[in-house]
Structure 1
Amino acid sequence: MRLASILPDRIGFGTAPLGNMFRAVPDGEARATLRAAWDQGIRYYDTAPFYGAGLAELRLGELLARQPSDTYALSTKVGRVVFDEREDPGAREHELGEKEGLFEHGRRLTMVTEYTAEATERSLDDSLKRLGTDRIDIVWVHDIAQDFHGDTWLQKFDEARTGAFRVLTRLRDDGVIKAWGIGTNRVEPIELALELEEPQPDGFLLAGRYTLLDHERALQRLLPTAQEQGLGMVVGGPYSSGVLAGGEHFEYRPASTEVRDKVRRIREIADRHGVGMKAAALQFSLAHPVACAVVPGATRPSRITEDIAAAREEIPAAFWHDLRAAGLVSPFAPLPDGA
């Protein structure tokens, strides 16, 4: 499995919150959080131009510029090109679609969504400059899905297939990058990519769709196919936009009553067994054999400590048995330690 051989550990750091997602994160707080991640041994970092119009990449670059480039693994994404000019507010509304407001506190620069070969190469060049590094290990093709593109998502997918996919395959084959794949919040474009004879991805980053709260769709076809093909998965959004970790958001918006009720039921079982919700969430996502790593995000140093402790927490098998008996996890979902 190519991804597993690239990633240095099973827990990484997702930088979306450092693009000022939902709130303006002070520079000092962002630096302290990244410093805490490095000091506590995290060596895989995932970012994207979309996160604050390059802000997350710039902040991550400050950390990585001080580290030897062979001591960490780095992934970023293509599909959006950031221009150094003030944005058109109308264009921003169209770009965000149902995700409007995610990065309203980020840099107010124009971003254009494009998956052509030319845009892919420009995006990577720009990312290298913002990150202050000479290499990127993994590149994800970002958000070629209905949640961002509506009914035109298949057209965008086809644009990526003839553009970004082919550029990234060439860069991988030439040794410029180590792997590429799809990075989305939806399973459909990944399933479609796995049906292609060529170009073939090495894996995918699936955000929010293989979590303790929401995993049924991924288990139906995507993960069995990926396992057959020997592909790897990085799990993004393991806390389901925060609602599994005490937050109020699910799918980047206020959680519904139904979602909050399911979280409450999971928490009741967790409390009965003395299990932390973060531990349950991270370890569930990592239990699938396709999962190579999980990349929770954070904006405070204390959260890094919590995430690392959660990944190592001992969870009794009885907890997983009770979740299964209550119908809160799929009967087809692998559970930690074969519980």
Structure 2
Amino acid sequence: MSLKNILPGRLGFGTAPLGNMFRAIPDGDARATVEAAWEHGIRYYDTAPFYGAGLAEERLGKVLSTRPRDSYVLSTKVGRVVLDERETDVPDFGEKGGLFEHGNPHKVLHEWTADATERSIEGSLRRMGVDRFDIVWVHDIAQDFHGDAWVQKFEEARTGAFRVLSRLRDEGVIRAWGLGVNRTEPIELTLALDEPRPDGFLLAGRYTLLDHAHALQRLLPMAQEQDVDMVVGGPYSSGILAGGANFEYQQAPPEIIERVRRIKALTDEHGIGIKAAALQFSLAHPAAAAVIPGATRPSRIAEDTAALDETVPAAFWKDLRAAGLVSPAAPLPDGA
């Protein structure tokens, strides 16, 4: 089923920050942020066991489990099974080392087999206090976590998670499944398979104002050809496009800071917010079904909803193109 037929709007809420990504967030702030998302009409929520070893799911569930289940769309991910035992070692997250060091102290099993997939879903349902998920993503079978071993992890998922999720979709237990990754190659490999067939994918950080050229070369043409939709994660490139200092989960390098400065100069010249430019750019691609920025404060939710509705003049997009700040192949709003 097309994601565009499932998702209730073009703006969703990504909960990675609620897993204490980078820093510890008070429970009250996390709850207020989810409540703000609901009050602003957001009805698509994405989470994962990996986000703070179940912490993000727990925090999201405390709010959503009190709402009518048919009133929102919910997605989580498989590939990590949160165990009851306490983690005693420093987890190895590849390039993402230290990402959730402030999360729950549980040990996490990284596995994409059929058995682990079913255990992961059962654990997520229990933590969230809900009876079902609409979409399930296969999480992080890519180079950024596994280096050269990512192909082996992909094969584990192909013969395990892919088949379980296809069966659950066919049985009507879930409505859709796909990959949730930070790299394009695993999705390209999946789309090249004869079976099983995903319904869509969540691509984080690879279709933003700062990083989109690679996705446009091969992945997005393949997705359009197969009528497979994309949820855009990380539209602010880990925060640098929203006033933060991080790019790709690390301190932004000088060349990225300079690129953001040039984009910001154009948004200032046209009297618009850089958040509006970032969100509306990501949604301009025909394959984009929704964008899911994260937040840890209610005020950020208000900013995101306003940014989506902000009027961005066609002249801005033309100037952005003329300045060489977007790929010539990137679709822009208003056909600019």
3-state SS of paired residue (1:81): strand
Task: Establish whether residue 65 from structure 1 lines up as the match of residue 65 from structure 2.
Answer: yes
Task: Name the CA distance, whole Å, in 2 between partners of 1:64 and 1:215.
Answer: 33
Q: Which residue of 1 is the match for residue 54 of structure 2? A: 54
After TM superposition, list the pairs within 5 Å mapping 1:82-121 onto structure 2: 82-90=82-90, 92=91, 94=92, 96-121=93-118
Alignment map for 1:34-45 (pairs within 5 Å): 34-45=34-45
Find 1:163's aligned residue among 140, 160, 165. 160
Distance 2:175 2:334 in 1: 30
User: Residue 204 of structure 1 corresponds to which residue in structure 2?
Assistant: 201
| 1:89 Cα deviation after fit | 1.4
* Alignment-derived partner of residue 182 in structure 1: 179
For residues 156 and 327 of structure 1, what CA distance do their matches in structure 2 show?
A: 37
Take 1:134 and 1:86, find their aligned partners in 2: how far apart are those partners?
Answer: 27
SS in structure 2 at match of 1:89:
coil
Shift in Å at residue 88 of structure 1?
2.8
1:291 aligns with 2:291: no
Report the CA distance between 1:185 and its aligned residue: 0.4
Q: Which amino acid in 2 is paired with 1:53?
A: A
Aligned to 1:77: 77
Number of paired residues? 336
Residue 139 (structure 1) aligned with residue 125 (structure 2) = no
In structure 1, how many angstroms separate the alpha carbons of the residues matched to 2:88 and 2:79? 19
Aligned letter for 1:281? A
Spell out, residue by residue over 1:153-174, the C-alpha distance to the aligned partner (whole angstroms, 9 max, x if none): 0000000000000000000000
Find the counterpart in structure 1 of residue 252 from structure 2: 255
**Structure 2 letter corresponding to 1:18:** L
Matched, 1:327 2:324: yes
Task: Name the CA distance, whole Å, in 2 between partners of 1:337 and 1:118.
Answer: 47
Question: Alpha-carbon deviation of 1:187?
Answer: 0.3
Separation in 2, partners of 1:323, 1:40:
30
Q: Using the alignment, how far apart are the partners of 1:98 and 1:172 within structure 2?
A: 32
| 1:259-274 mapped onto 2 (5 Å cutoff) | 259-274=256-271
Q: Alpha carbon RMSD of aligned pairs, Å?
A: 0.6
Shift of the alpha carbon at 1:108? 1.1
SS in 2 for 1:244: helix
Task: After TM superposition, give the deviation of residue 98 of structure 1 in Å.
Answer: 1.3
**Hey, what's the Cα distance between the residues in 1 that align with 2:296 and 2:167?**
35
**For the residues of structure 2 that align with 1:199 and 1:116, how far apart are their CA atoms?**
15
In structure 2, C-alpha distance between the alignment counterparts of 1:245 and 1:27, rounded to whole Å:
23
Pick aligned residue for 2:145 from 148, 169, 174: 148
Shift of 1:184: 0.3
Q: What is the distance in 1 between the residues matched to 2:247 and 2:219? A: 22
Which contiguous aligned blocks of 4+ residues in structure 1 show a shift greater than 2 angstroms? none
Task: Provide, for residues 72-105 of structure 1, a one-character-per-residue CA deviation record: whole Å limited to 9, x for no partner.
Answer: 0000000000101111314x1x2x1110111010
* 3-state DSSP of counterpart to 2:218: helix
TM-score (norm 1): 0.98
Q: Which ranges of structure 2 fall in alignment gaps of 5 or more residues?
A: none
Q: Matched residues, percent identical?
A: 73
Q: Please report how far the alpha carbon of residue 197 of structure 1 lies from its aligned counterpart in structure 2 after TM superposition.
A: 0.4
Q: 1:244 aligns with which of 241, 244, 247?
A: 241
Q: After TM superposition, give the deviation of residue 2 of structure 1 in Å.
A: 1.2
One-letter amino acid of the counterpart of residue 2, structure 1 = S
1:11-69 Cα shifts (integer Å, max 9, x gaps): 00000000000110000000100101001100000000000000000000001111010
Residues 130-180 of structure 1: per-residue CA shift (max 9 Å, x gap):
111001000000000010001100000000000000000000000000000
Taking the aligned partners of 2:178 and 2:334, their CA distance within structure 1 comes to: 28
> Alignment partner of 2:268: what SS?
helix
Partner-residue secondary structure (3-state), 1:205 = strand
Q: Which runs of 5+ in 1 are unaligned?
A: none
- For residues 259-318 of structure 1, the C-alpha deviation after alignment (integer angstroms, 9 at most, x for no partner) is 100000111111100110000000000000000000000000000000000000000001
**Structure 1 residue 3 corresponds to structure 2 residue 3:** yes
1:18 match: 18
The equivalent of 1:300 in structure 2 is 297
